[in-house]
Copies of this chain bind each other. A is one copy, B any other.
Amino acid sequence: MNPEKLALLTDLYEFTMANAFYQELPKEEGVFDIFFRNLPDNGSFVVLAGVKQAVEAVEKFHLSASELDYLRELDLFSEEFLAYLADFQNQCEVWTIEEGTPVFSGESVVTVQGPLIQAQLYETMLLNLINHQTLIASKARRIVASAKGRAVMEFGSRRAQGPDASIYGARATIIGGAKLTSNLLAGKKFNIPVAGTMAHSWIESFPTELAAFEAWARQNPHNCSLLVDTYDILNSGIPNAIKVFEQLKTEGVDANIGIRIDSGDVTELTKKARKMLDQAGFTEAKITISNALDEYIIESILDEGAQVDNFGVGEKMITSSTSPVLSGVYKLCAVKHEDGQVEPKIKVSASKTKVTLPGIKQVYRLYNTSGQAFADVIALRDEKLGHSLSVVKADPLATKKEHVLQDFIAKPLLRPVLRGTKRVEELEGDVFKIQANSQAALKELPAETKRLMNPAIFPVYVTSKLNTLQKEMLAKH
């Protein structure tokens, strides 16, 4: 993925609309929000990711000569519009929530304001980048939580949905708390430590398992995690591994030793493996497992007493297989007319959950004096919160009873990062710093909100002022 080559990573209709906006409403500005409705795995929040790539894609939006030719050949666009595209320079302002932040359903996580012609064009590209990485970071967060402090390594490249899914997916798993990846491109690009030793093919290429292990130890004493399940884990794999570890010890080689199990009932196998390794004096040998793991399996086997140091997690994390779609949307919330007047906009629907929140908004996280977050509030951006705040539940299906919030410290989550061609704020580039920020923000949330099954709902409100605006606009339609 090259952020300078994503301008056509979009649906045709963004361009047919932009062309028609160019003719019909060239001076109008639009304000669009990205937010999530249903969250994956029935979670109560997602971990926002993909922000850096999304902002860069807007910043570097550019059509090459061959792309312009392609658009011309479609015979759908005016020459004036094509000329406009050839000279394209971003004029939009982009606000985002910091990458790695846990965010809740309905909260604006990205806001784009600028000429309708431009802001419309960014929709598909932004949603693709944000939906994908947020989905995978959120899945990784769950898997890492289930591992209770043990290392989670991302091993999913071969089953990811294409090259970008493996590379940017690996990035997202680090944001969600994974420690390493097996993917070299991701390792190189994002400075993530990489992990891996051998596959079954290594073992099978030698006359015996022992010969394969010995050859491995000769070449890789410092990276000597032996795959023990090619033939028979307990009767051949582990005894052979122990022989090799003993050899290394005898020879006084400074080695990093361990075993990996990729099949079978890992609870029983790892218990027995641990015992065999310990009895042979190799208490430092690490046990890695890597067989179709996800948060549910990891939680179960740890409950059963499995003896595992590292989890190599593949397809189920890199595709978020139990919930493979995040349905972030990009919705118009206001139009700024030529005369400067801002008119809030709303999408009406027979389904309450699909009605949008009108107006340009800010999202606040409210903290008590001990630094614990206890609620989020969606407000109009130009509202002053004051010391006492009248709100209603944001959930479109909740009763709209007024609550008064007091004694809070409110932190605005959306910040301007890009204005036209000018970066207002540098985005964090170090994925482990994003991970650390994410974990700090997760610590501020109540434990019950982070439960993997049936988590408690964290209170998210809209201000009474915003609620009134929505009610009035709905009444008009």
Contact = CB atoms under 8 A, between A and B. Distances in A.
B332 A20 contact: no
Contacts of A330: 158
Counting every copy of the chain, the complex holds 2
A348 interface: yes
A348 B230 contact: yes
A361 interface: no
B166 A165 contact: no
Interface string A147-182: 000000001011111111111110000000000001
Interface in A10-36: 10-17, 19-21, 23-25, 28, 30, 32
A194 interface: yes
A196 B16 contact: yes
A135 interface: yes
A325 interface: yes
A163 B164 contact: yes
Interface stretch (A198-206, A379-387, A438-446): A198-206
A324 interface: yes
A277 interface: no
Interface string A325-344: 11110111001000000000
Given A202-B20, A351-B263, A128 B162 contact: yes
Interface string A174-194: 000000001111011000001
B157 A132 contact: no
A223 interface: yes
A368 interface: no
Contacts of A131: 158-159
Contact of A161 (B25, B165, B223): B165
A12 B219 CA distance: 15
A405 interface: no
Interface residues of A, number: 104
Interface stretch (A119-127, A242-250, A427-435, A464-472): A119-127
Interface stretch (A1-9, A96-104, A298-306, A416-424): A1-9
A296 interface: no
Given A128-B166, A167-B9, A220 B158 contact: no
A388 interface: no
Contact of A215 (B24, B197, B319, B348): B24
A195 B160 CA distance: 27
Contact of A220 (B20, B185, B220): B20
Interface in A30-60: 30, 32
A232 B474 CA distance: 13
A3 to B, nearest CB: 10
A321 interface: yes
Given A20-B216, A158-B131, A204-B332, A164 B325 contact: no
Given A263-B351, A325-B159, A348-B230, A164 B1 contact: yes
Contacts of A350: 263-264
Contacts of A120: 199, 201
Contacts of A8: 184-185, 188
Nearest to A24: B215
29 contacts: A8-B185, A9-B167, A10-B185, A11-B157, A12-B196, A13-B182, A13-B197, A13-B199, A23-B219, A28-B205, A30-B201, A67-B188, A116-B205, A123-B158, A127-B159, A129-B162, A135-B161, A136-B161, A159-B327, A161-B162, A162-B164, A165-B165, A201-B331, A205-B332, A263-B349, A263-B350, A263-B354, A264-B350, A320-B324
Given A1-B162, A12-B184, A70-B184, 15 more contacts: A9-B166, A12-B194, A13-B196, A24-B215, A24-B219, A76-B220, A127-B159, A128-B159, A159-B326, A164-B165, A204-B345, A230-B348, A315-B327, A319-B324, A324-B324
